[in-house]
Amino acid sequence: MPQVRFLPDEKRVDASLGEGLLELARRANVDLAGPCGGKALCGKCLVKIIEGKDKLSDPTDNEFFVIGTRRIQEGYRLACRCRIVREGEVTVFVPSESRLEEHSLLVEGEILEERFDPAITCLRVKIPARAYGSIVENLPREFSFRLTALRKISKFSGSESEKELVVYNDEVIDVRDESRPLGFAADIGTTKVAGYLVDLKSGALLAVASDLNPQIAYGEDVVSRIDYALRNGVEELRTKIIDCLNKLITTVCDATRSITENVYEFVLVGNTAMQHFLLGLEPKTLAYFPYTPVTRSPMNVKACELELLGNPEAMVFIPPIIAGYIGSDVLADIIATGMFRGDDPEMLIDIGTNTEIVLKKGDKFLACSTASGPAFEGAHITHGMRAARGAIDRIEISSNGEVKYTVIGGTRPIGLTGSAVVDVVAELLSARIIDESGRLRELTDRVRMGKDGYLEFVIEYGENTATGEDIVFTQKDIREIQLAKAAIRTGVNILMKRLGVNPSDIRRLYIAGAFGFFTNPLSARTLGLYPDIDVSRIRLVGNSAGAGARAMLLSKSLRSLAYELAQKIEHIELAAEPDFQKEFLKSIPFSDRI
Amino acid sequence: MPQVRFLPDEKRVDASLGEGLLELARRANVDLAGPCGGKALCGKCLVKIIEGKDKLSDPTDNEFFVIGTRRIQEGYRLACRCRIVREGEVTVFVPSESRLEEHSLLVEGEILEERFDPAITCLRVKIPARAYGSIVENLPREFSFRLTALRKISKFSGSESEKELVVYNDEVIDVRDESRPLGFAADIGTTKVAGYLVDLKSGALLAVASDLNPQIAYGEDVVSRIDYALRNGVEELRTKIIDCLNKLITTVCDATRSITENVYEFVLVGNTAMQHFLLGLEPKTLAYFPYTPVTRSPMNVKACELELLGNPEAMVFIPPIIAGYIGSDVLADIIATGMFRGDDPEMLIDIGTNTEIVLKKGDKFLACSTASGPAFEGAHITHGMRAARGAIDRIEISSNGEVKYTVIGGTRPIGLTGSAVVDVVAELLSARIIDESGRLRELTDRVRMGKDGYLEFVIEYGENTATGEDIVFTQKDIREIQLAKAAIRTGVNILMKRLGVNPSDIRRLYIAGAFGFFTNPLSARTLGLYPDIDVSRIRLVGNSAGAGARAMLLSKSLRSLAYELAQKIEHIELAAEPDFQKEFLKSIPFSDRI
């Protein structure tokens, strides 16, 4: 009988001929994402075949298109496309990027193995019926007690019983018959909020949920939300994000049939503005140079004080702010990627509405933040849209202007995701339909004069789109992308200059954030978004801020590390750098692409 | 013009001939009690004339009666009876026992001078409009911040301002334009609760209030209240005492036109059972041997968690429990008396429904607790009553059975206070109307057979009483007193034996509690309540538990001292002592009186 072995889970499952790897993974209880429903569209069920390639069906055209020939040759497949066709054993490696809905990191797992040391621990104890000294002195260790826990102990005293203490650091915060303490980590992004439910005894990730940050109603970017808070106070923004977190907490608890009362600790990360809104701090001095936060210190507050759902005694840890707009999410990135280890130069780019860049060399860390805007999320682009049904997410344009694309959900297209936007620009550049300055050249019929007087490239004609309208990419769209790319590239270049690092010195480039995860790194490099380094050194780490938050939830020593890093990292205020203007202008053309 | 100088206040006031000292003290703004309204009845306005005795009117008969000849000779007077009769200067010392309604200690003042170091401090700071790092990093010292204080700081940021930080240890808990931080100390007695409002900046005592402990409705003594809690839960007892404390807080704040929001810290002391009720801890293991408290540790909890009125961020400190029934009130006694200093043997007896005894010699401290019952508070005595209008509070019985007495409020008598009860027994003993075994002897017409078959001594006949009934003291009443006295004396003797201390070794005997304060120490010694030591070594320290609570409110180092003492003091469980029975039986007769 054919057998499949899943790594790193070390789970085995018996298979029948004709069965698909995605179903087998589910039967073996291996988390493997498949949001597109097995249509080979989303590419999220990517696995690597370690042994037994010949026992599987051949790669499909679709797979070649989504994964690329090189990766197919390396053994990568889409699990949803692979069927068992021959007897024997197949060994499949499931990268953590392919797990569940969110993307975590391999490296996070390694780090936690060394550092598993949660602030919440449990201890089973006998409560004596008769004792000298005091009841709590007769427990096996010396603890301090929260009042509510002391009241519970007093209720159980008087007859011998066995209970479980829930301990936060050295303080008993609850006493129960049995406990299964849970933790909730969240990355509060300007656009998206991702929440993770974690078993604090085993460290296992139990459930993931995410939602749009409802503060979007007050402005898409950080600056307009700060502006809103200055005029109306921070309270509305605060309650919005708390409501959102509570919805996520309820979702992940419901999904695992847990009660929120079992949630004993939270780790929440976000950029500086998000941290201020979350805590209800007026962001007055964040509004002008030098963009001063109220505090940079890590916070430990009671969840009920923030009005978060959870155990009444639950605590919230919010890691420190590095400086200015560079918040705890960047610390979480650094922790999740493990880039705090080793001496070789490494760089992290967390691309979002605000993009944060960190460069490390030896013991030195530099960080900066740049307002790259929402263009990479599809906003401010004529036919840009979020990654939803009907969005083109991958595109190829040949030198004669022929266009091939995939659509999320397999329907007729409506518009372009941010990753497709990057593909479009990169492909148009490769086809020389865009020149180095970013100008569209009328080399094909698809380039025409649009209604508003700008040249535009037609991606799909109305007869083939869902709306009946042509999907186009305009000269103005190219300019938006150029400005966004220049903002990021300026930061990258200034940090490299400051530490005397050349692109070829960079051992690893971590690209964090959903945009980077879904974007073809070759396209992004063609665009000049990333420094000119070998693609093999690029690591797409997805929501590493969420992964870092989860790691801190499970490790007190990683919290200390976050504190040390926050002290150590030097913040570069880009706008205050003497060569900022020059670097920015230099970064606008596409001339630094390979 | 005659002049009066009040010590230790160092206040001077010009006087006219004929003016009384009590009025002059009020004019000079010197706190001096006078609850009986200047009728020379309560003895509470006791002062000592240091210089200028001859400038004052002669002592009245009333004064001789209330103060006693010896003290008159030492210069003591009742301020309400002294008038200026000659030109010149008079120097008057006002002992702290004579201040306000409650009685504090001289020694407490000395201790605090060395140790003034409250947990709550204030710091005036500039909040910068523009700063590097973070707003809080630019404050003159490094603090941690409570969330609410951080929110206030954020509100004040953005333009330069000057504010006052209210700091608890090293944590900022409030930010205000100006602050006058107040503290509230209370001694929670089984019968009475006394509360003190203190200015935490100056250490000044601002107001005092007291009330009956409303838990009395659930039983007069600790054991019956514990019993109630075992049957019905502790919650009712908890809310009763919290309501009572909140009433006292409101009273003292109203009296000084303060708002409760200015109260930033509480120090609450009480016996072990009171501490359990206050914290809402079920007293299950307190109900049986070895009378184990839930915890002995000191507690720092938020006032709002206990539902106490005060600033929302206010903290409550509850000192540790020594052991069994010996609670933080005894630590407060030890701190207030200063008996933790020096090596000579010193003893403290805090007489109440439960009587606590502490004996010190060198570095050794022993403590025990004994259920002396409420007889000394007038309960279980045929005509016993609380110290209220109509209560006989002092009494003299001559050897021929003639009776002289004073009545609170100067009305016809209704009954006897606890102190009068002690007087009655001591006087009857001196007149040999009671023999050493405690039997009434029919040596005068006032001794007669009562209706219930017991001999009784008639203190006042119906025609002179407020009720028309005879006020009597029965053989049964004498037995009650004997048992209560034996309970205390047994403890005293066992502790002395354990440390090898003889009465003559005791440098000082501190008598704490309202009963002891109002009771003639000679009568008490005649009864055999106190060990046989010279009266000059006895210090009536009144509510020293309240004074000690106040002292801890003003001094962190005294809190540490309380912690050290709680570790050091050895608790003697009297009932478990091998010679307990023998000592108790030996203590019942009145034979050990002088």
DSSP letter string over B474-529?
A: EHHHHHHHHHHHHHHHHHHHHHHHHHT--GGG-SEEEEESHHHHHS-HHHHHHHTS
Whether A594 is covered by a domain: the verdict is no
Secondary structure in 3-state letters for B196-221: EEEECCCCCEEEEEEEECHHHHHCCC
Whether A327 is covered by a domain: the verdict is no
| B31-55 average pLDDT score | 73
Considering the domain architecture, whether residues A210 and A149 belong to the same structural domain is answered as no
Hey, of A159, A295, A321, A325, which one would you mutate to test binding to chain B, going by the most B CBs within 10 A of its CB?
Answer: A295
Chain A, nearest residue to B295 by Cα: A134
pLDDT attached to residue B375 = 81
pLDDT attached to residue B117 = 93
Considering the domain architecture, whether residues A360 and A384 belong to the same structural domain is answered as no
Considering the domain architecture, whether residues B294 and B365 belong to the same structural domain is answered as no
pLDDT attached to residue A109 = 53
**Greatest CA separation found in chain A?**
93
pLDDT attached to residue B113 = 66
Shortest distance between the Cα of B143 and any Cα of chain A, in A, equals 10
Q: Tell whether omega for the bond before B290 is within 30 degrees of 0, i.e. cis.
A: yes
| Alpha-helix residue ranges (DSSP H) falling in A174-318 | 222-232, 235-255, 272-279, 303-306
Whether A592 is covered by a domain: the verdict is no
**Cross-chain residue pair B132–A280, CB shorter than 8 Å:** no
Q: Is B374 helix (H, G, I), strand (E, B) or coil?
A: helix
Nearest to B150 among A136, A153, A295 (CB): A295
Taking residue A442's Cβ as centre, other Cβ atoms within 10 Å add up to: 12
Q: Is B136 on the interface with A (CB under 8 A)?
A: yes
**Cross-chain residue pair A134–B276, CB shorter than 8 Å:** no
Whether A112 is covered by a domain: the verdict is no
Whether B114 is covered by a domain: the verdict is no
Shortest distance between the Cα of B319 and any Cα of chain A, in A, equals 14
Residue B43 confidence class, pLDDT cut points 50, 70, 90: low
Last residue of a domain, one of B144, B160, B176: B176
Considering the domain architecture, whether residues A188 and A305 belong to the same structural domain is answered as yes
Distances, alpha carbon B417 to alpha carbons B241, B422, B462, in Å: 25, 9, 18
A52-A55-A57 Cα angle (round to 5):
125
Q: What is the pLDDT of residues A535-572, one digit of tens each?
A: 778 888 888 899 899 999 999 999 999 999 999 999 99
Considering the domain architecture, whether residues A496 and A368 belong to the same structural domain is answered as yes
CATH number of residue B366's parent domain? 3.30.420.40
> CA B227, CA B246: separation in Å to the nearest integer?
25
Q: Is B56 helix (H, G, I), strand (E, B) or coil?
A: strand
Q: Is B536 on the interface with A (CB under 8 A)?
A: no
Q: Is A379 on the interface with B (CB under 8 A)?
A: no
Whether A329 is covered by a domain: the verdict is no
Considering the domain architecture, whether residues A429 and A407 belong to the same structural domain is answered as yes
**Cross-chain residue pair B134–A158, CB shorter than 8 Å:** no
Q: What is the pLDDT of residues B109-153, one digit of tens each?
A: 556 667 899 999 999 999 988 888 899 999 988 999 999 999 999
Whether A106 is covered by a domain: the verdict is no
Last residue of a domain, one of B428, B459, B481: B481
Residue B97 confidence class, pLDDT cut points 50, 70, 90: low
Nearest to A135 among B133, B135, B292 (CB): B292
**Cross-chain residue pair A281–B150, CB shorter than 8 Å:** yes
Considering the domain architecture, whether residues A189 and A259 belong to the same structural domain is answered as yes
What is this structure's pTM? 0.80
Considering the domain architecture, whether residues B382 and B362 belong to the same structural domain is answered as no
Last residue of a domain, one of A138, A160, A176: A176
pLDDT attached to residue B34 = 60
Q: What is the pLDDT of residues B526-560, one digit of tens each?
A: 889 888 888 878 888 888 899 999 999 999 999 99
Considering the domain architecture, whether residues A205 and A309 belong to the same structural domain is answered as yes
Shortest distance between the Cα of B242 and any Cα of chain A, in A, equals 15
Share of chain B above pLDDT 70, in %: 94
Considering the domain architecture, whether residues B220 and B368 belong to the same structural domain is answered as no
Considering the domain architecture, whether residues A497 and A352 belong to the same structural domain is answered as yes
User: What is the phi/psi pair of residue B249, to 5°?
Assistant: -60, -45
ipTM: 0.80
Residue B37 has pLDDT above 60, yes or no: no
Q: Is A284 on the interface with B (CB under 8 A)?
A: yes
**Cross-chain residue pair B292–A153, CB shorter than 8 Å:** no
Contact call for residues A310 and A266 (beta carbons, < 8 A): yes
pLDDT attached to residue A594 = 33
> Residue A532 sits in which domain range?
340-372+487-587
> CA A92, CA A79: separation in Å to the nearest integer?
9
Q: Is A142 on the interface with B (CB under 8 A)?
A: no
Considering the domain architecture, whether residues A382 and A235 belong to the same structural domain is answered as no
What residues in B contact A276, CB-CB < 8 Å?
154
What residues in A contact B153, CB-CB < 8 Å?
294
pLDDT attached to residue B101 = 41
Contact call for residues A193 and A251 (beta carbons, < 8 A): no
Whether A260 is covered by a domain: the verdict is yes
How many domains are there within chain A? 5
Q: Is B582 helix (H, G, I), strand (E, B) or coil?
A: helix
Nearest to A147 among B150, B151, B305 (CB): B305
CATH number of residue A31's parent domain? 3.10.20.30
Q: How would DSSP label each residue in A98-149?
A: GSSSS---HHHHHHHHHH-B-SEEEEEEEEPSS-SS-TGGGSSS--EE-HHH
Inter-chain CB pairs, A–B, below 8 Å: 129
CATH number of residue B251's parent domain? 3.30.420.480
| B307-334 average pLDDT score | 95
Q: Which residues of chain A have pLDDT under 50?
A: 100-107, 593-594
Q: Is B575 on the interface with A (CB under 8 A)?
A: no
A246: left (phi over 0), alpha (psi -120 to 50) or beta: alpha
